[in-house]
């Protein structure tokens, strides 16, 4: 059963039998607001980009996976590709994390979403981030990202080492910038 997370809430990445999950997917979805005259629809596509930023125990940024680098250097974090429109149902971009292969020096992985085309969150709707156990294809948790406003980015969630395993925490910190690099100063306090 999926858990609906609120900002600041966490969920342990363990299976029903108490063992640690080995492969998870962080999936992102959104729809462009397309309102025109007389109730019709029009408007530009919105290119939202998901990124995963890897940090060591001291909070130093050591690697990333995003649309310009689809895999972390060690291959443990894999971005599945860039969706430039948000068109269609379900997940628009995904990042797969092989938790069992993440190097020991990685303490946290932070997930962000940025409007590469510069539209604000007022121009998207139905935005979400969800966590899926890749082994069972079961949704574990969902976090609503539909907070509208003039911001162009959000620090969505982080996956952190916890008691010999991993936990995901919903962050929901708003920001601005076209890529994750613009958010690095805002990420530091969330580590």
CATH number, domain of 53, equals 2.60.60.30
pTM of the model: 0.89
Please write the tens of the pLDDT for every residue from 122-179.
878 778 888 999 999 999 998 887 677 888 999 999 999 988 899 999 998 999 999 9
Number of domains within the chain: 1
Domain of 117? 3-190
Task: Find residue 53's DSSP bridge partners.
Answer: 64, 110
**For 144, how many CA atoms within 13 A lie in the half-sphere containing its CB?**
7
CA gap 126, 54 in Å, rounded: 27
Confidence grade of residue 40 (pLDDT, cut at 50, 70, 90):
very low
Please write the tens of the pLDDT for every residue from 2-19.
788 888 999 999 888 888
Q: In this structure, what DSSP letter does residue 35 have?
A: -
Whole-angstrom CA distances from 182 to 22, 83, 112, 169 are 30, 20, 11, 21
């Amino acid at each position: 059963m999926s858990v609906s997370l609120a900002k600041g809430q966490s969920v342990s990445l363990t299976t029903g039998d108490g063992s640690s999950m080995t492969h998870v997917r962080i999936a992102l979805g959104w729809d462009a607001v397309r309102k025109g005259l007389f109730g019709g629809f029009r408007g530009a596509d919105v290119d939202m980009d998901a990124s995963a930023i890897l940090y060591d125990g001291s909070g130093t940024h050591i690697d990333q996976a995003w649309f310009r680098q689809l895999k972390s250097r060690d291959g443990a974090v894999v971005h599945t590709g860039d969706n430039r429109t948000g068109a269609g149902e379900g997940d628009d971009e995904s990042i797969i994390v092989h938790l069992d292969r993440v190097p020991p020096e990685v303490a946290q992985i932070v997930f962000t979403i940025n409007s590469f085309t510069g539209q604000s969150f007022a121009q998207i709707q139905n935005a979400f981030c969800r966590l899926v156990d890749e082994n069972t294809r079961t949704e574990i948790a969902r976090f609503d990202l539909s907070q509208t406003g003039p911001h162009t980015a959000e620090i969505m969630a982080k996956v952190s080492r916890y008691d010999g395993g991993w936990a995901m925490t919903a962050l929901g910190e708003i920001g601005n910038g076209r890529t994750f690099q613009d958010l690095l100063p805002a990420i530091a306090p969330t580590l």
